[in-house]
């Protein structure tokens, strides 16, 4: 089974997670999600595997989050997924996927729960 990581090389937490995997002898499929955003279906699947809600994987500290008024609780999960796919900077990172399981790897050692 291929381990995947939604990776942003400029993010220290993302680099730590990638290094953590590599130190365990795992060469993951690296998904540079800022360059190639997930489709809504791909993001829905990742969210399902994380067992989190779309809102729980949003970067609420991003300027864009405030500009788009995404704190509006009336927004549907589908609306949040759509906006994250259009603006992948809003997706929290790193997300590590192994088969039917995924983890928001903050801190990196949480990855062990899905290996």
Q: Which residues are marked as active site?
A: 11
Give the span between the Cα atoms of 33 and 91, in whole angstroms: 9
Contacts of 79-84 with CB under 8 Å at 24 or more apart are 80/54, 80/55, 81/40, 81/43, 81/44, 81/47, 81/54, 82/40, 84/43, 84/54, 84/57, 84/58
């Amino acid at each position: 089974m291929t381990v995947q990581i939604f990776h942003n090389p400029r993010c220290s937490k993302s680099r730590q997670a990638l290094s953590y995997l590599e130190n365990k002898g795992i060469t993951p499929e690296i998904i540079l999600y800022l360059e190639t955003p997930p489709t809504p279906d791909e993001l829905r699947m990742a969210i399902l595997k994380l067992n989190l809600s779309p809102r729980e994987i949003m970067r609420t500290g991003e300027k864009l989050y405030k500009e788009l008024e995404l704190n509006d609780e009336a927004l549907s999960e589908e609306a949040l997924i759509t906006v994250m796919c259009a603006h992948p900077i809003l997706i929290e990172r790193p997300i590590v996927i192994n088969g039917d399981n995924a983890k928001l790897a903050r801190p990196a050692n949480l990855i062990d729960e899905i290996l």
